[in-house]
Amino acid sequence: MNGLVAALVVGVLTTYAADEIFQSDLSEKAWLAATLAAFGSSIAISVWAIIGIWRSATRRQAEAGTIKSALMAKLFASIGALGLVAHLSQTPSPIVDNALVVGGIYPFGFPAELSVNGRTLNIDGSITVEVAEQFKVLIGKYPEVNQVSLLSSGGSIDAAVEISSLIKERNLSTVAVGDCSSACTLIFLSSKVRAFDVDASLGFHSPSSGAAGDVVVNGTSLEMRLAYADAGLSEPFADKAFWTPSNSMWYPTDDILIKEGAVNLFTKARIRQDHEESIKSFNETKPLKIDEFMSVVSAKRDDINLTYTHMISLREDEIDWATMSKEAADNANELICGDAISNLMVKSGAIYTYLYVDKIGKKVGLVTVEKCENAV
C-alpha cells in the first residue's frame, strides 16, 4: 500500500508538477529551485518506499516463513528502483546544468568577455545571466554604441532574450564575426541590420536539454519561434531548426540565410575576403573561354572592387562596342544581381567591373555593376 501511494505521488511530481513548473513564468533560479524540490522529493519518497518494501518483505519472510510473497515484493521493489534510476538518468540533465550555473560552474563554457571598441560592443564567449547583466551596464555606460559584435556558441536562452530586448530597445545592429550558434542566433536576429563578417556562420538546433548546449528554461521553444518570426524567417526554416537535435547543429548556407532575410549586410572585410576567394578560384582555371572570340584572362581586386578582364580576339576597329555594350551590361547584371550572395555584396558596397580589351590589350569598353534593384 505504501509503495502504491508513493508511486502515485512520484508520478504526479515528475510529470504533472514538473510540466507545470516548466510552463510557468518563474525566473531561471526560481525554476531551478522548484524543479529541484519536485525531483528531490520524488527521489526521497521513492527511496523510502523501496527500502520500506524490502525491509517489510524481509521481516515477513522471517516471521511467517513465506518465501514466495517476500521474493515477489523484493522483485517489484528492485524493478521500481531500476525504473527510478533509468528515469533520473534521462531527466535531470537540465537541472544539473542549471545547478552548476547557479554555483558558478558553466557546463557550456565560460561567460563571454564583453568589451567596447569605438561604437561596437563585443560579445566573445558563452551567453549567461551574468553576461546579460554586464551587457545592460555597458549599454548604459556607452550610449554611443550602435553595433553588437557576436562570437558565441550559445548559452542561456533567458540571457539571450534579455540581451535581445535591449538591442531592440536601442535599435542596435548586430554582426557575426565568426560562429554564432544556438542562443547566439536569437541575439543576432533581434536587430534590423544583421551583418556577416569574415568566416561568419549561424548555427541552429532545437532547444537543448543537456550540457551540450543551451539550458532548457520555461517557454524556450515559444521564445525561439517568436524570435524567428520577428526576424522574418519562414516556417519551413524554423521547422528545420527545431527538427535538428540539440546535440547537433544545422549551419544553413549563406545563400539560404540571405534568401530568408536572416543576413542582410556584409562587412567590407567580408567583401574583400569573398573577392580574394573569387580571384583564387579563377586563377586555378584561367583563362576562362566564353566563346570563340572572347576569354576572361585576369581578375584583380582594388579594395572592394573586383575587376575581370575580358579579351576579345579581334582588333579594336573590328569590334562594334556600341552594340556589344548593352548585351555585356545585361549579362553582367544577370550574373551578379541574379545570385543571392553577390547581390548582397553589391548592396553592401561591393563593385564588380568587367573590362574588355582587344587582342593586343587595348581597352575597348567597361561595364560596372554597383547597384542591384531587387533582392533575389
Confidence of residue 63 (pLDDT cuts 50, 70, 90): low
What are the tens digits of pLDDT across the range 274-289?
A: 999 999 999 999 999 9
Phi/psi of residue 175, each to 5°? Answer: -140, 130
Q: In the predicted model, is pLDDT for residue 365 greater than 50?
A: yes
Residue type, 172: L
Q: pLDDT at position 81, please?
A: 66
What are the tens digits of pLDDT across the range 116-147?
A: 999 999 999 999 888 999 999 999 999 999 99
More confidently predicted of 106 and 136: 136
Q: Is the pTM of this model over 0.95?
A: no
- Contacts of 174 by beta carbon, 8 Å cutoff, 6+ apart: 147, 148, 149, 150, 167, 187, 188, 189, 190, 191, 193, 194, 195
Report, as an integer, the average pLDDT of 317-346: 94
Residue 347 CA to residue 376 CA, distance in Å, equals 12
At the top level of CATH, which class does the domain 106-266 belong to?
alpha beta
| Mean predicted lDDT score pLDDT of the chain | 84
Q: In the predicted model, is pLDDT for residue 74 greater than 80?
A: no
Q: In the predicted model, is pLDDT for residue 214 greater than 50?
A: no
Name the one residue in this structure whose C-alpha cell is 543571392: 340
More confidently predicted of 49 and 177: 177
The fold for domain 269-369 equals: GMP Synthetase; Chain A, domain 3 (3.30.300)
Confidence of residue 349 (pLDDT cuts 50, 70, 90): very high
* 103-107, 221-225, 294-298: the lowest-pLDDT one: 103-107
In the chain, the percentage of residues whose pLDDT exceeds 70 is 75
Positive or negative torsion for Cα 222, 224, 225, 227: positive
Confidence of residue 31 (pLDDT cuts 50, 70, 90): low
More confidently predicted of 14 and 116: 116
DSSP single-letter state for residue 317 = G
Residue 359 CA to residue 376 CA, distance in Å, equals 36
